[in-house]
Structure formats: structure tokens, C-alpha cells
Amino acid sequence: MHPPLPRDIDGRVATLVTIDGDGPVGIPVSTVCRVDDRRVLVGLGHRRQSLGRLQADRRCALVLIGPGFAVNVRGTATVVRPALDCLEHLAAVLIDAEHVQDAMSVTTRVHESVRWGWSDAPSRARHRAVLDELGRLAAELRQEGGGSGP
């Protein structure tokens, strides 16, 4: 049995790894929302090459690091909402974890996440709206079932 996804991942910066003809490609993402113990939503812009790579090859990894956790999630991605209501050029991508690896050891500690922010108020508001919409979508997916844990 693999460990569940950490609970405190919403809005944290993570690294999404997709695959192209030359191998793995990682990008930072900040629109991350936990659905349940095995699923996570990520918002990806239509112009992101990662979205196209996921549509060609659904295999991916998501590296999550925050206070008290460091995990590598390997799974498959599915576009569950091609355009968000709050930002039409952003798609909601559901990652179904097939393997969750706890990368922490008994001698390591992660004290905090990556510190990041937006340079202007409109960008901060858009980011908050995206996370809110992903949170509502996560709640819908939990109600539909098929997952475990909150």
C-alpha cells in the first residue's frame, strides 16, 4: 500500500513532469488542489506545452514538497475540464496516482514550501479564483466517488 497524498498541498508550488520525445520535462505549477488520497487536480494553461504532452502521453509525475512532506507521485493525467469558468485559457487536469513515493527519510525535515507570489493584485486574484474553482471541482469529484479519503 502506498502512502496517501499529503493533505496540505492546495496552492503549493509543485513540479509537474511530463514526457516528450527527448525524455522527461519538468515545470513548476502553482495551481494544485488535492481531491483525495489518490487524486490531485492541476490547472494548466492551453499554451503550456505540458498540456499537449499530457494529451499525447498521459503518464506524468508530480513532485510535492512542503512542511513535513516530500513525495513523488507517478500516475496518469486526464483533462476533466477543458476550460475553467474563471479563466477560459486554463484546463483542469486530474492526475490519478498509481504510485506515491515518500521521499522523506527519518533524518530529513522539510520546514517550509517554496516561497512565491504574484507581482500584482489582479494576478493574485486570478490565482485565488483558479484555486477556488479547482476546490469546487475537487468536491464534485469526491461526491462522484471513485476515490479515498478527503
Q: Mean pLDDT, to the nearest integer, of 146-150?
A: 54
Q: What class has domain 14-144? A: mainly beta
pLDDT reported for residue 107: 75
Alpha-carbon gap, residue 18 to 50, rounded angstroms: 6
Q: Mean pLDDT, to the nearest integer, of 78-90?
A: 97
Spell out a b/e string for 89-98, using b for 16 or more CB atoms within 10 Å of the CB, else e. Answer: ebbbbbbbbe
pTM exceeds 0.85 for this model: yes
Higher pLDDT: 125 or 114? It is 125
- Please report where in the chains the cell 489518490 appears, as a residue: 38
- Domain definitions of the chain by residue range: 14-144
Quickly list H helices, the chain: 49-56, 121-144
pLDDT reported for residue 137: 98
Name the average pLDDT for the chain: 91
Give the least confident one: 72-76, 79-83, 87-91, 106-110.
106-110
pLDDT reported for residue 139: 97
